[in-house]
Amino acid sequence: MSKIKDVERSIEVIAGQVAAQQMVMETIIVEAMRMNAIGEAQIMALLTQGMDVFERNENMTKHETFGAIGTLRSVLDTIKRAEDAKLID
């Protein structure tokens, strides 16, 4: 196998691990909201501030910023889906 294929497969494995970690993180956030351990206003402020920080961070590449903000938007989407499913208020 070529070195390029090895690197591509390694990147794919890491991408899969990150996707799974994100899913776990989103599940934990929704569960914390369901149990009233964290309020919706708190998590929304955190996510909004996080997006703003990533957008203004000059040390991040455009791809890093895109990925970071995409992750936070995914959390917002998960919260909306949990609300629509009546899992959280």
Q: How many angstroms separate the Cα of 11 from the Cα of each of 7, 8, 14, 87?
A: 6, 5, 5, 34
pLDDT tens digits for the chain (89 residues)?
689 999 999 999 999 999 999 999 999 999 999 999 999 999 999 999 999 999 999 999 999 999 999 999 999 999 999 999 999 97
User: Which residues touch 87 (CB under 8 Å, ≥6 apart)?
Assistant: 30, 34
Whole-model pTM: value is: 0.81
Between vectors from CA 9 to CA 8 and to CA 15, what angle results, nearest 5°? Answer: 90
Q: Are 65 and 50 in contact (CB under 8 A)?
A: no
Gap between the Cα atoms of 35 and 30, Å rounded: 9
- Among the residues of the chain, which ranges form H helices? 3-34, 40-56, 62-84
